[in-house]
């Protein structure tokens, strides 16, 4: 889930916040502005991708870094006496896997009736709610600590055995604009972790660290219930001749305040169990069309779009008993990807292109380490 795939990485570097803070001031403005050029001479086109020449190399480096991290983390869990399983590299903490119903609206404006939104229809769905931050030495972060939270939705029953997946997070901005900025963030963070001073790093790594950490601090939050959150795709998707982002909004707040969890480490699971034991929960899915190619960028997922929202579907999570033993087994096989999509809803932008290349080898490695059964797509 995006933070789509890479969101939680920045939290690894909060340990260096004191080191970074004194150096951050000269670069603070970098974190507040688009990484891509958005000048008055902008000639970008609606719905069009612009692929940098270095992108394939950047993505290969990201893939290698994530695979190494997964292998190290699995070994660390085994050394600590934890269940020696390989976890998802990001969004590793599953709060719940639940069943749902997804209903495409019958009154979508004609210019947006493409792909999954072409006709009013109901789909069975599987929903995974999660926390984004990577584990700390193989151990899950407590729900009492601020984090980014995600929701992944898999629609079943499409022709040809396909699924349609939506991956969203509870903040509109991703921590990096592009694969290039992301790999500079990863490499810069690794260098600082090994004791290198930030002002000794290449300038691009310095900028990526400052932006990534600033955006992560802005996106991480405490929540009492994942069913109360609005969720954002962060990355864009094709729709017709244009592009859209997705936003999922709850119809009501389900958690009374305050909530006193029996175990703060798993407070969100408790909230989910309590809510779904007594009521159905509804979300509305909106599309956010790209209306200005120079400010609502395809190739920069660190910047929030500002265009109006258009309702296109409803997600109903019915009241149900969450069987955690059963869901843990299914969790090993479930694979969510933005590329599980109809051609008319194809992912766009550098970070989605990175996910297309990075997800499969990471999934294969995780299932190889876990000796898991064939994945469920």
**Nearest Cα to Cα of residue 122 among 370, 318, 325, 364:** 318
pLDDT in tens, 110-155: 999 999 999 999 999 999 999 988 777 778 889 999 999 999 999 9
Residue 314's pLDDT band, with cuts at 50, 70 and 90, is: very high
Q: Is the pLDDT of residue 260 over 70?
A: yes
pLDDT in tens, 66-92: 888 777 777 777 777 777 677 776 788
Residue 83 vs residue 254, higher pLDDT: 254
Distance CA 270, CA 39 (A): 48
Please state which of the ranges 61-75, 136-150, 191-205, 346-360 shows the lowest mean pLDDT.
Answer: 61-75
Q: Is the pLDDT of residue 216 over 90?
A: no
Q: Is the pLDDT of residue 363 over 60?
A: yes
Residue 335's pLDDT band, with cuts at 50, 70 and 90, is: confident
Tell me, what's the pLDDT at 9? Answer: 41
Residue 160's pLDDT band, with cuts at 50, 70 and 90, is: confident
Q: Is the pLDDT of residue 33 over 90?
A: no
Tokens of 349: 């932008």
209 contacts 187 by C-beta, under 8 angstroms: no
DSSP string over 284-346: EEEEEE---TTTS-SS-TTS---SPPEEEEEEEE------HHHHHHHHHHB---TTSS-GGG-
- Kindly list the structural domains of the chain, giving each domain's residue range(s) and its CATH number in brackets, ordered by start: 7-23+50-176+220-370 (2.40.180.10)
What mean pLDDT value characterizes the chain? 85
Distance CA 312, CA 310 (A): 6
Q: How many CB atoms lie within 10 A of CB 145?
A: 14
Residue 372's pLDDT band, with cuts at 50, 70 and 90, is: low
DSSP state letter for 373: P
Residue 250 vs residue 162, higher pLDDT: 250
Q: What percent of the chain has pLDDT over 70?
A: 87
pLDDT in tens, 1-28: 434 334 334 444 333 433 343 344 344 4
Q: How many CB atoms lie within 10 A of CB 79?
A: 11
The owner of tokens 């009501």 is 252
């Amino acid at each position: 889930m995006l933070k789509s795939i890479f969101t939680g990485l920045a939290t690894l570097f909060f340990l260096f916040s004191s080191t970074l803070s004194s150096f951050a001031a000269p670069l603070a403005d970098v974190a507040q502005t688009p990484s891509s050029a958005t000048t008055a001479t902008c000639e970008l086109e609606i719905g069009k991708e612009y692929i940098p020449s270095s992108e394939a190399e950047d993505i290969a480096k990201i893939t290698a870094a994530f695979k190494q991290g997964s292998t190290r983390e699995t070994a660390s869990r085994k050394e600590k006496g934890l269940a020696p399983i390989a976890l998802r590299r990001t969004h590793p903490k599953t709060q719940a896997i639940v069943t749902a119903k997804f209903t495409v609206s019958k009154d979508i404006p004609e210019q947006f009736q493409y792909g999954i939104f072409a006709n009013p229809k109901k789909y069975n769905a599987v929903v995974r709610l999660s926390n984004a931050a990577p584990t700390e030495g193989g151990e899950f972060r407590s729900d009492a600590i601020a984090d980014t939270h995600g929701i992944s939705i898999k629609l079943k029953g499409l022709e040809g055995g396909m699924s349609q997946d939506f991956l969203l997070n509870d903040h509109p901005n991703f921590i990096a604009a592009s694969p290039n900025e992301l790999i500079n963030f990863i490499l810069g963070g690794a260098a600082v972790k090994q004791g290198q001073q930030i002002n000794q790093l290449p300038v691009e790594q310095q900028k990526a660290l400052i932006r990534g950490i600033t955006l992560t601090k802005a996106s991480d939050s405490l929540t009492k219930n994942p069913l109360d959150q609005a969720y954002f795709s962060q990355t864009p998707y094709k729709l017709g001749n244009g592009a859209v982002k997705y936003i999922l909004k709850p119809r009501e707040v389900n958690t009374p305040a305050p909530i006193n969890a029996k175990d703060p480490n798993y407070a969100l699971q408790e909230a989910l169990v309590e809510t779904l034991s007594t009521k159905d929960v509804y979300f509305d899915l909106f599309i956010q069309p790209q209306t200005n190619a120079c400010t609502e960028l395809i190739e920069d997922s660190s910047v929030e779009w500002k265009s109006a929202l258009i309702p296109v579907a409803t997600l109903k999570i019915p009241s149900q008993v969450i069987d955690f033993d059963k869901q843990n087994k299914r969790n090993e096989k479930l694979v969510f990807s933005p590329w599980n999509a109809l051609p008319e809803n194809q992912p766009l932008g550098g970070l989605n292109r990175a996910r297309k290349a990075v997800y499969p080898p990471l999934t294969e490695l995780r299932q190889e380490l876990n000796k898991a059964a064939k994945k469920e797509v």
